[in-house]
Structure 1
């Protein structure tokens, strides 16, 4: 049974945190779906992920291509990713269901701490998922490094 990890971004930009989490996921041998609510945000993340340092290459692709099922990391707006992910990373307030938290190794929900709407959406997701029995952890980088602040 997996868990939902909530990452409250206050120090680092989304793409930097996403790089770190994707690298760790790939090291674990997991396929990943990065789920966004809007394709424009995913397109920007796609460009940023390709533009990293040569030693930080993250193999990935945008959903809708002929090789989606083979992608170790697939950026998508769809609930069902064709790469059979073991981890989902939700950005931009993308939908997450308690059943997938239970079925996957991990679900990561990344949200901007400077955006009141994003904070409200993350709180709503926490309440919904934990009320449905999903295991959840809240991680904050207030101190400059990631620290677990709550667990349910």
Structure 2
């Protein structure tokens, strides 16, 4: 009995060791962003503006886009529609200002959503960068499809 319990515990321990690092995610594409500016008001939070774009087929079937985003830090975890400069009729971009790991950083998540036939796709990623930066690259680490 003790030997079988020990075998089960050993197997479980081996499976825990074999779990991949969930923080390390595959980068499917990278979206360049520039013109980042933020303005902060105390109290009240910060507002930002930046340009972001992606070429057609950055992932299979994705339309190209160019957008200007205006996220608000006071609305953390709330998506704000970006102003699309060029995008297909069935495509839009949203940005979310999130809580960064320190006060001198900005953390943003960006979503590109489009329809292809009966399927809705959502490509997204998050990036954290110095608040003084004027440009950044967003790694796209998630692509979901819903019928």
* TM-score under structure 1 length normalisation: 0.24
Structure with bigger gyration radius: 2
Higher helix share: 1
Higher strand share: 2
* TM-score under structure 2 length normalisation: 0.25
